[in-house]
Structure 1
Amino acid sequence: MIRIDAERGSRSLKIETCNTDFAIIGGGMSGVCAAITAARQGLKVTLVQDRPVLGGNASSEVRLWILGATSHMGNNNRWSREGGLIDELLVENTYRNPEGNPVILDMILLNKVKQEPNITLLLNTAVYEVIKSKGDEIDGIKAFCSQNSTEYVIKAPLFCDASGDGIVGFLSGAAFRMGAEPAGEFNEPMAPDASYGELLGHSLYFYTKDTGKPVRFTAPEFAMDVQKEIPRYRNFNAKEHGCKLWWVEHGGRMDTVHDTEQIKWELWKVIYGVWDYIKNSGKFPEAENYTLEWVGMVPGKRESRRFEGDYILSQSDLIEQKIHEDGVAYGGWSIDLHPADGVFSDRSPCNQWHSKGIFQIPYRSLYSRNIKNLFLAGRIISVSHVAFGGTRVMATCAYVAQATAVAAALCLKYKKMPAELYSENYIPVLQKELLKTGQYIPDVNFEDKDDLVRDAHIQSSSNLAFRGFSRDNYLLKRLSIAAGQMLPVQPGRFPSFTALLKADAATKVNVELRISSKYGGFTPDTIVAVKQVELQPGEQEVNIDFDVVIDKQQYVFVCFLINEKVQLAYSHERVTGILSVFNGVNKAVSNNGKQVAPEGSGVESFEFWCPQRRPEGQNIALQFREVVHAFTADQLSNGADRPTLQPNAWVAELADRAPVIEVSWEEFRSIDRIDLVFDTDTDHPMESVLMTHPETVMPFCVRNYHIEDEQGRVVYQKKDNYHTRNEILFESPVETKKLKVILEHPSDDVPASLFSLRCYSFKSH
């Protein structure tokens, strides 16, 4: 029993002091990815989250899908899913949670964080004060946990604000912006005027459930009459719920920090009014058995403060895909701005304009320009309001957070402040360390002198000499939308090929060879050659020879234009780094097949050629007279771990039933670690909630493999792999002159492939 007598003075809270290497404030996807990445860099990390779960807008409290450069597969950003830790989490979620249950995602995030012994996690803990002894540097923060009535004093040499509203940046005095810049400040034609509004609002979601029996609903008195108040009320239906109703948005005319509770109340009025409309208007008899299963308690917030770094990313950086010497991450979402009046506006609910490809994000945008030891992560990074429209989505936010974590490790190692990594030319070191973690940076290749494979002889039991796809059990699909086959080619004459088509009647079909006007891009906006093929009724093989020379290695597109009278043959075979694309429509990202940019907008007009989601998206069954591409083993050490100008992958022949990669040295090597990078299909966006996925493991990913030394002893064996990166650490070094990696094909239609193989000795570090 505890009994405390009355006391005259006031009592104090319990106080705990945490001394840490890196304090991260905010436990959304940005904070989670920064914390795990930093912990794996060897830093002692304290992660402070003011909610009971991790994930922020992705969590079960809000339930928004995680997206980034892949953009629902509705743009021309091929193989653009973010790498590193966010890739690891999305691959894990797809494996464990293909149904998109947000509660399971909560579990996965908590599990990943708790697996890291270097992370101290403080949930339900809100920062309320910053401690400073100097005007330009943070000494510590104070935070309060509502669940254990404890005050935490957290001291660290480095801080990362990933809190969304930028609570630490704000309290510390960091320079920030809120709202839209005038068009002239950064020469941004897309800068909105006052009628459109300067801020994006909040959204609140709800889930429904079919109970199998009639359910009635009595609306609360505060429910809104959406038929009177919402101009687009006819867009509501009984089938859509969750973040498919992202456009139920409000608050862009208000203070999106301090008015959040008021905004939430207005959104509750809308939600219960929507459900009243669906259940009681008589217009949705299909909803008779539906009940309202869940309504959000925390609004998903899009925009509030943006903090100033040494570089402010703007519209031209995104549209022109500018290269920065300090590029550490990338984005690829559209410039996605919304009218400030949100759901109460009669305008289109969003204004999405895509660039032709992904854009770099520089390191200088990831730290405060005036608070020396403060990193910025998530949606608060140094961007204009217009550029914010493309950087604000969660996978992009998490990606830049990973860069801050590795930068923090280098700051501590070299005793530097964040800005000094740039000013004192540590960027190449930062980029290298990021690439080691699986972070892909456009136009930056991985060169690691410590990789023992660089000095080895590499050979394989077979290399796929690609001449086209099998027509065994081929599929015929009508050319109701234009279809293209992406193919990696080397400089030289483009080989002739055959296609299998079936015509309903005598007709002609136009076939085009296209490339991207931007070297290395995936927007097929340049027509190199055109052939018109005459077809007779019935099924026939046609020969096509464009008679052109390709001057440099790149992807080309063989495009079959629309003809409703014609069916085209497709193959069941799939190969790493080769895709079919279609000039279709994807309304989810304002893709109507072609982007027609308004005059003077600073945005380009172009066609979208995008893959289809599996189980669709088969490759066109083209067959070539010569080898189009050789997937040789030397690709394993070229420094690229995903398709870029080329597939950058070794691929085995399917007929080679137990393909082997052999790495050998003239002298013995002491190997402590082996890194392998497999193909988990970085074109798949892997939306985290609501949407389901056709498989739990990507079809290109090698599931089973083992590694032998020169004596044939098995030094490592892996079963049921589904991850992109396999880092193999040996308790005792493997002393050998030779390693063999023996793999199994993922399936009868997909040959084994590998992006990279790296070996390390701790003695060489």
Structure 2
Amino acid sequence: MQKEIFVAARKPRTESLAADLVVVGGGLAGTCAAITAARAGIKVILVQDRPVLGGNASSEVRLWVLGATSHMGNNNRWAREGGVIDEILVENLYRNPEGNAVIFDTVLLEKVTEEPNIRLLLNTSVYQVDKASEDKIEKVWAFCSQNSTQYELAAPWFCDASGDGLMAFSAGAAFRMGAESREEFGEKFAPSSEYGELLGHTIYFYTKDTGRPVRFLPPSYALQDITQIPRYKSFNVSDFGCRLWWIEYGGRLDTVHETEKIKWELWKVVYGVWNYIKNSGNFPEAENLTLEWVGNIPGKRESRRFEGEYMLRQQDIVEQKTFPDAVAYGGWSIDLHPADGVFSEKPGCNQWHGKGIYQIPFRCFYSRNISNLLLAGRIISASHVAFGSSRVMGTCAHGGQAVGMAAALAVKNNWSLMQLNEPENMQVLQQELLKTGHHIPGIKFAAKENLVNSAEISASSAFTLKELPFDGPWLELEYSAAQMLPVTAGKLTGLTLQVKAEAATALQVELRISSKPFNYTPDVTVAQKEIKLGQGEQHIHLDFDYEVDQPRYIFICLMKHDAVAVRGSEQRVTGVLTVFNKINKAVSNYGKQTPPAEIGVDEFEFWCPHRRPAGHNFGLRLDSGISLFSPENINNGLFRPTTSPNAWLPAADDVNSKLSLEWEQPQTIKEIILAFDTDYDHPMESSLMGHPEYEIPFCVQHYKLCNDKGELIREVRHNHQTINKIVLDEPVKTSRLVIEPKHPSTNVPAAIFEVQVY
């Protein structure tokens, strides 16, 4: 029993905690920052004001995670973010292909709680910042309403990933809110005041079929006049969850301090919409449907953006500007919304895509005013226009990883922000990130301590692309289709395809490349042919007599023809795929991007892959094979396809394949890292959208590691992850390491992108 006498006042229970890094905000950016820093060996406190992690991706909001892949609706091939966020999304696919947001919560919570270096504080809100000096944070104060405990949190480094930038704001850091003028940065897409300066919030709802009629009596605050929503005729019983992202409001209000007001307006809209669907008589198919869930907090898009040493801007995205301090990348469209949201007469979004992914420099990830304050998520240093691209969760998470690693290096080496920015130290940061599978476009992994550097690399075989069997479905040319093939500099080989024509006709065929060899936008046509076809099935031979200038991908384009089909193949190969000049309205892809001349965005066509189980390659035979799958690729510093596949593949008939690393003298091995192919083209949306598989068909699931005596070091079965880090219980001394991967299936040869040995 506890009994206390009356006192004038009491203070809450206080717990004082210290760490190397305090991360405020448990969305994907903060979560990935915390995990990355903890795995790099420093102590982290992760403070989240909600009961679950994930922010807009959590079960409280239920927006799917997306980034540079953009629903496979742009030309950014193999663009899914690597590192921790990739690990999370691959794990979620394995456990939760149905896209249940509650299960995604558990994936995130498990990843954090498995890290012994992280102290997680849920339901805990930071409310005060104490500073050691004008430009340095000493500690923050937070309160947990669930256990009535006040926390005093001290650290040498702080990261604000809170969305609204509560800690950065309290610390006095310079910030912006709203849109810059066109003149400030020369951004031609800077919005007019009539279009608005802020993006609003959204609340989603889910429905459920009960199997019997269900009535709905709306609350009194529900929107009564549905025609106030100009697009009300777009509502239907099939769309729910974040497919209704355009139920947006608040862009003309203070999106920090008026969030509760915005929330009530969104509830009003949601219940008004459901009243319209249930009771207007226009949707008899809704008779058995009930509201299963309505969000209690809105998904917030935009509020404060804090100023770093550099501000990302429109030109950086469109021109794909490179930076010496690049640590992350983006690739979502520049996606701005009308400030009036659901009540606007304008389209719900205004997306303009780039031709490829773009770098984000480290100087965007910290405050230019506070010497120990890192920034992650949507609050990073970017203009309003650039923010339209960098704000999405995959990009935010990827940047968070860079921030977490930067903090770890700063702690271990006693570096300041200025020292982190020194060229040699920035290279250390970049290399430590790449080591984990984190991708930075244009930068290769090259760790000097990697024992693979001094090994002789050999393999039992290497795949040569000579043919893709003509054993797949016929692919109708309802829109233009292209086979992407990796090639080296030199004379382009000829190839044979199989086509089928309903009647004698002519087929237009084009050979295209990208104007930038590291992009996948086929915007340069280098040759054209008209192929005469007879009725029925036939083989056609294509020889373009073209000299390739450098390693890149080419596009063998069969132009749209309603009466012609091309034979597909069941064979799938890492780094080889087909793309189609199709429409994806979800990301404003209508086959071709045709922007107004004055907004500073490129015009080009979209050529995008199909999702599995579709997405077959063309069946084909090459006059001479493509030999770009050699074992040396496992040490070329690239963990995904870029201008080449960058992977070792054994021959398809090599069922006992071996990759050998041999040294002149025995080496003591403690750790082995393998990078496999989990199809970086697949967006792996975390919620709502279902996926056709638990494991990516390219991924090696079963492999063995053996020493120079043929003795088993480690055997792994049922792998589904991209990066496999094998830490041996006891170091092994050997002059040879043999990796024996099993083909994932008869139609997919095994692939290894990179091997690291320490």
Question: Shared fold (TM-score greater than 0.5)?
Answer: yes
The equivalent of 1:5 in structure 2 is 5
The equivalent of 2:202 in structure 1 is 203
The equivalent of 2:339 in structure 1 is 340
The equivalent of 2:572 in structure 1 is 574
Residues 188 and 638 of structure 1: CA distance in aligned 2, closer, same or farther (over 3 Å): same
| Larger CA deviation: 91-100 vs 629-638 | 629-638
Deviation per CA, 1:711-736, whole angstroms, max 9, x where unpaired?
Answer: 11100000000000000111211111
SS in 1 for 2:108: helix
1:160-175 matches, within 5 Å, as: 160-175=159-174
- Displacement of 1:225 in angstroms is 2.5
The equivalent of 2:544 in structure 1 is 546
The equivalent of 1:136 in structure 2 is 135
Q: 1:578 is aligned with what amino acid?
A: V
- Is the 8 Å Cα contact of residues 226 and 274 (structure 1) preserved in structure 2? no
2 CA distance for matches of 1:687 and 1:419? 37
Q: 2:400 is aligned with what amino acid?
A: A
- Displacement of 1:227 in angstroms is 2.3
2 CA distance for matches of 1:148 and 1:754? 48
- Is the 8 Å Cα contact of residues 511 and 557 (structure 2) preserved in structure 1? yes
The equivalent of 2:520 in structure 1 is 522
Equivalent of residue 693 in structure 1, options 681, 691, 694: 691
- Displacement of 1:416 in angstroms is 1.9
2 CA distance for matches of 1:576 and 1:2? 66
- Is the 8 Å Cα contact of residues 628 and 645 (structure 2) preserved in structure 1? no
1 CA distance for matches of 2:555 and 2:227? 50
The equivalent of 1:763 in structure 2 is none
Asked if 1:705 corresponds to 2:698, the answer is no
Equivalent of residue 533 in structure 1, options 527, 531, 537: 531
Deviation per CA, 1:354-400, whole angstroms, max 9, x where unpaired?
Answer: 00000000000000000100000000000000000000000100100
Residues 470 and 234 of structure 1: CA distance in aligned 2, closer, same or farther (over 3 Å): same
1:709-724 matches, within 5 Å, as: 709-724=707-722
The equivalent of 2:107 in structure 1 is 108
- Is the 8 Å Cα contact of residues 459 and 658 (structure 2) preserved in structure 1? yes
Aligned residues: 758
1 CA distance for matches of 2:615 and 2:178? 41
2 CA distance for matches of 1:722 and 1:577? 18
The equivalent of 2:413 in structure 1 is 414
- Displacement of 1:423 in angstroms is 4.4
2 CA distance for matches of 1:523 and 1:226? 45
1:359-758 matches, within 5 Å, as: 359-423=358-422, 425-471=424-470, 473-758=471-756
Q: 2:583 is aligned with what amino acid?
A: V
- Displacement of 1:469 in angstroms is 0.3
2 CA distance for matches of 1:347 and 1:187? 25
- Is the 8 Å Cα contact of residues 367 and 419 (structure 1) preserved in structure 2? no
- Displacement of 1:425 in angstroms is 4.5
SS in 2 for 1:387: helix
- Displacement of 1:96 in angstroms is 0.3
- Displacement of 1:228 in angstroms is 2.7
- Is the 8 Å Cα contact of residues 364 and 419 (structure 1) preserved in structure 2? no
- Displacement of 1:468 in angstroms is 2.4
- Is the 8 Å Cα contact of residues 226 and 277 (structure 1) preserved in structure 2? no
SS in 1 for 2:638: coil
SS in 2 for 1:389: helix
The equivalent of 1:274 in structure 2 is 273
SS in 2 for 1:133: strand
Deviation per CA, 1:338-369, whole angstroms, max 9, x where unpaired?
Answer: 00000000001100000000000000000000
- Displacement of 1:543 in angstroms is 1.0
1 CA distance for matches of 2:231 and 2:570? 43
- Displacement of 1:414 in angstroms is 2.0
TM-score (normalizing by structure 2): 0.99
- Is the 8 Å Cα contact of residues 226 and 233 (structure 1) preserved in structure 2? no
Deviation per CA, 1:571-595, whole angstroms, max 9, x where unpaired?
Answer: 0000000110000000110000000
Unaligned runs of 5+ in 2: none
The equivalent of 2:25 in structure 1 is 26
2 CA distance for matches of 1:475 and 1:205? 39
2 CA distance for matches of 1:425 and 1:431? 10
Q: 1:655 is aligned with what amino acid?
A: D
TM-score (normalizing by structure 1): 0.98
Please tell me the root mean square deviation across aligned C-alpha atoms, in Å: 0.8
- Displacement of 1:147 in angstroms is 0.5
1:184-263 matches, within 5 Å, as: 184-263=183-262
2 CA distance for matches of 1:474 and 1:394? 36
Q: 2:659 is aligned with what amino acid?
A: I
The equivalent of 1:158 in structure 2 is 157
1 CA distance for matches of 2:439 and 2:599? 30
The equivalent of 1:289 in structure 2 is 288
2 CA distance for matches of 1:468 and 1:79? 23
SS in 1 for 2:386: helix
Residues 343 and 628 of structure 1: CA distance in aligned 2, closer, same or farther (over 3 Å): same
1 CA distance for matches of 2:47 and 2:371? 20
SS in 1 for 2:119: strand
- Displacement of 1:600 in angstroms is 1.1
Deviation per CA, 1:72-105, whole angstroms, max 9, x where unpaired?
Answer: 0000000000000000000000000000000001
- Is the 8 Å Cα contact of residues 205 and 296 (structure 1) preserved in structure 2? yes
SS in 2 for 1:502: strand
The equivalent of 1:176 in structure 2 is 175
- Is the 8 Å Cα contact of residues 375 and 418 (structure 1) preserved in structure 2? no
- Displacement of 1:418 in angstroms is 2.2
SS in 2 for 1:153: strand
- Is the 8 Å Cα contact of residues 488 and 629 (structure 1) preserved in structure 2? no
Deviation per CA, 1:22-60, whole angstroms, max 9, x where unpaired?
Answer: 000000111110111110011100000000111000000
The equivalent of 1:119 in structure 2 is 118
1 CA distance for matches of 2:224 and 2:510? 53
SS in 1 for 2:563: strand
- Is the 8 Å Cα contact of residues 490 and 629 (structure 1) preserved in structure 2? no
| Larger CA deviation: 637-646 vs 223-232 | 223-232
The share of aligned pairs that are identical, in percent, is 56
Deviation per CA, 1:223-264, whole angstroms, max 9, x where unpaired?
Answer: 102423111101111111000000000000000000000000
- Displacement of 1:628 in angstroms is 2.3
Unaligned runs of 5+ in 1: 761-765
Q: 2:548 is aligned with what amino acid?
A: I
Q: Which runs of 4+ in 1 moved over 4 A?
A: none
Q: 1:318 is aligned with what amino acid?
A: I
Asked if 1:62 corresponds to 2:67, the answer is no
Deviation per CA, 1:709-764, whole angstroms, max 9, x where unpaired?
Answer: 1111100000000000000111211111111111111011000110011111xxxx
Q: 2:49 is aligned with what amino acid?
A: D
Deviation per CA, 1:504-527, whole angstroms, max 9, x where unpaired?
Answer: 100000111100001211100000
The equivalent of 1:321 in structure 2 is 320
Q: 2:106 is aligned with what amino acid?
A: M
SS in 2 for 1:23: strand
1 CA distance for matches of 2:562 and 2:721? 41
Residues 733 and 326 of structure 1: CA distance in aligned 2, closer, same or farther (over 3 Å): same
1 CA distance for matches of 2:706 and 2:556? 42
2 CA distance for matches of 1:424 and 1:742? 39
SS in 2 for 1:467: strand
Q: 1:573 is aligned with what amino acid?
A: Q
1 CA distance for matches of 2:418 and 2:593? 39
The equivalent of 2:303 in structure 1 is 304
SS in 2 for 1:258: coil
| Larger CA deviation: 710-719 vs 420-429 | 420-429
2 CA distance for matches of 1:90 and 1:226? 41
SS in 2 for 1:468: strand
- Displacement of 1:424 in angstroms is 6.4
